[in-house]
Structure 1
Amino acid sequence: MNFNALDLNLIRVFDALMRERSVTRAGDRIGLSQPAVSAALNRLRHIFNDSLFVRQGNEMLPTPRAAELGEPARLALAEIEGMVRTVRGLELTELKRIFTLIGADFFSTLLMPHLAHKIYAQAPLVKMRLLDSARGDVARLLQDNAVDMALERPLEMPDWISKQLLFRSPFVIIASARNPALDGVSERTAMPLTVFSSLPHAIRSIDGTLSGMVDEALASHGLSRNVSLALPHFHAVALAVAQSTHIAAVPVQFANAVGENLGLRCFVPPIDVPVPDVNLYWHCRYDEDLAHRWMRSQILEATEELNFPIAEASATE
């Protein structure tokens, strides 16, 4: 193979296919038609003397040779893109980029609609998508350029992951307004520990685990609760609580946003539960990337505009 004759756009096509596992989606990602992607794939197969991708159902699965090439291709493209963006500067009206975030449905409900409006007003050619936090290991996804940023509670991260505090997210306890066990208990006051202990609990759990931060806090007092329902999304937890005698601990911002529409009441936990930070994580290779820095600033502004202040310390404020 004559390297001087290699079209580097073919590597962009290869990387898009590795990420999307679909000719159509790969084309959408890099702005090429399906026939153009197919033609590029044929050229890649000739260059590497390998099928690279084989169809299985609706997906194009990488061969072992493609899997071997995937990470070097991602890293090389990231270096080239970073170099070009640093030299050219940033023109928002001309910026064409897809930003992929990962986080809980908390963010798809509360953050993304407002953020999308902000971004479109400044950079109408920019596209955004939010992946569910169950997608996989955050550090690996950031390393592989599968996602640009992660919106997560504190995680143990390697030193090549950068982070910024977005806001603090105290827990409140939600219950149906029709739950008879809470008759006579004033909303936004502490839920009696006897009621808290006697009622069934629902929790948001992406892997089915039946415990969380609240259980750790209870255990420090020699207490426990009855977790009888685990669901992968906060909204599903809220719906379950609205239709049953279950109660649940959820972020105060989420409870404030959906509580009235779902007929929920909010209470303070009967014990002290640590208030978790919500951080924005990204790979340090993008620390100085102008477009990445701009998007990070927009996410921070959006959380402030939605009254997710860093200093928020309790559910009763």
Structure 2
Amino acid sequence: MDITDVDLNLLKVFDALHRKQSVTQAGDLMGLSQPAMSFALSKLRVLFDDPLFVRTSRGMQPTARAQQIAEPVQRILALVSNEVLPSSGFVAEHSERQMVLCMSDIGEMVFLPRLMRVLDERAPKLRIRTLALSPEQLEEGLDAGDVDAAIGYFPRLVNSSIRNRALYSHTFVCIVREDHPHIGDRLTAQQYQAAEHVAVQADGRGMGILDRELALRGVARRIRFSLPRFMGVPFLVAESDMIATVPLAVGRRFAEIARVRLVPLPWAITGYDIHLHWHTRYHHDPANRWLRETLIELLADFPSLGPVED
């Protein structure tokens, strides 16, 4: 193969096919018709002297040769996009770009108000869209450039092409209604186990750490309400004698919007780290870098919030 035979657009087609494993979906990503994609694929097969993608019941699956060159092709495209081609630059003050963030409902409650205030001051036309994705969906979204960054607890996100930075650690706290008849400023282990609980059950979330920590101590909660999200928790607690165990930052937010107060747990429970994630391909992208730096700055004082008063 001679490098003069290589068309950069063909590499973009290859990358789209590798990520989508569908001629139609890859064509949608590239803005090309299915016949045009099929023609490009035939040229790729000649160029590499390999079928590259084989049609199966699970879509267009890459051959061993395609798997071998997939990551180098991604690096080449990222290098050309970020460091070779002239950039129009990114001016946050004037940008009308939509940035996509993946975060849980915790993130929306805790991070977005802070981010909104910063954007109002520095990037008033910038638009934010949030998504809640599984680790598998998030990995694909970051890889495809459909997601600019993710904030949260994603222990299964281990793709070596995805970078991350630890932001701060979440600890846990109990919330009870302001005028709870039996629980004062402190909560005993007996009270914790005797009380009815509102619990959030979400696979892969930090709350799984709480479940494991309680199980290690032989603590069983009497769960009255089990919810998939956090938003309903403070309102159930505020209208009952039930209690809930939530991340500290979430508990503080709940105390601002509902008639609940914070009470320390009877035990020292191990917390979990919140990370910022982004894809290596967009590490040097000006808009992505500005977003990351902004998020790191506005979350920098979270560790200084300290624990709830004991």
TM-score (norm 1): 0.68
Q: Match of 1:302?
A: 298
Contact 1:96 1:125 (8 Å CA) reproduced: yes
User: For the residues of structure 1 that align with 2:146 and 2:212, how far apart are their CA atoms?
Assistant: 32
Q: Match of 2:82?
A: 85
User: For the residues of structure 1 that align with 2:305 and 2:81, how far apart are their CA atoms?
Assistant: 40
* Number of aligned positions between the proteins: 282
User: For the residues of structure 2 that align with 1:311 and 1:259, how far apart are their CA atoms?
Assistant: 19
2:243 aligned with 1:275, yes or no? no
User: For the residues of structure 2 that align with 1:103 and 1:46, how far apart are their CA atoms?
Assistant: 39
Name the aligned partner's letter for residue 204 of structure 1: V
C-alpha displacement at 1:154, in angstroms?
Answer: 5.7
Q: 1:280 to 1:6 in 2, by over 3 A?
A: closer
- Of residues 240, 243, 246, the one that matches 1:247 is 243
2:199 aligned with 1:200, yes or no? no
Name the aligned partner's letter for residue 161 of structure 2: W
2:90 aligned with 1:106, yes or no? no
Contact 1:255 1:266 (8 Å CA) reproduced: yes
Q: Mean Cα displacement is larger for which, 103-112 or 236-245?
A: 236-245
C-alpha displacement at 1:295, in angstroms?
Answer: 1.0
Q: Match of 2:167?
A: 166
Q: Match of 2:178?
A: 177
User: For the residues of structure 2 that align with 1:125 and 1:84, how far apart are their CA atoms?
Assistant: 24
Q: Match of 1:52?
A: none
User: For the residues of structure 1 that align with 2:166 and 2:118, how far apart are their CA atoms?
Assistant: 20
C-alpha displacement at 1:162, in angstroms?
Answer: 1.6
Q: Unaligned stretches of 5+ in structure 2? A: 43-56
How far does the alpha carbon of each residue in 1:76-130 deviate from its partner, in whole angstroms, 9 at most, with x for none? 6885465333344533156564422211112212222332443464445543211
Q: 1:102 to 1:140 in 2, by over 3 A?
A: same
Secondary structure class of the residue paired with 1:85 = helix
User: For the residues of structure 2 that align with 1:64 and 1:213, how far apart are their CA atoms?
Assistant: 35
Contact 1:154 1:276 (8 Å CA) reproduced: no
Q: Match of 2:309?
A: 316
User: For the residues of structure 2 that align with 1:5 and 1:287, how far apart are their CA atoms?
Assistant: 25
2:288 aligned with 1:292, yes or no? yes
Q: Unaligned stretches of 5+ in structure 1? A: 31-36, 50-62
User: For the residues of structure 1 that align with 2:8 and 2:282, how far apart are their CA atoms?
Assistant: 27
Contact 2:150 2:277 (8 Å CA) reproduced: yes
Q: Match of 1:129?
A: 129
Contact 2:175 2:251 (8 Å CA) reproduced: yes
- Of residues 227, 232, 238, the one that matches 2:228 is 232
C-alpha displacement at 1:262, in angstroms?
Answer: 1.0
Q: 1:84 to 1:161 in 2, by over 3 A?
A: closer
C-alpha displacement at 1:252, in angstroms?
Answer: 1.7
TM-score (norm 2): 0.69
C-alpha displacement at 1:268, in angstroms?
Answer: 0.2
User: For the residues of structure 2 that align with 1:241 and 1:250, how far apart are their CA atoms?
Assistant: 12
Secondary structure class of the residue paired with 1:272 = coil
2:251 aligned with 1:263, yes or no? no
User: For the residues of structure 1 that align with 2:279 and 2:295, how far apart are their CA atoms?
Assistant: 16
How far does the alpha carbon of each residue in 1:25-63 deviate from its partner, in whole angstroms, 9 at most, with x for none? x89xx9xxxxxx7x96786588779xxxxxxxxxxxxx9
Contact 2:82 2:284 (8 Å CA) reproduced: no
Q: Match of 1:53?
A: none
Secondary structure class of the residue paired with 1:235 = coil
C-alpha displacement at 1:251, in angstroms?
Answer: 1.8
User: For the residues of structure 2 that align with 1:119 and 1:45, how far apart are their CA atoms?
Assistant: 43
Contact 1:168 1:276 (8 Å CA) reproduced: yes
Name the aligned partner's letter for residue 276 of structure 2: L
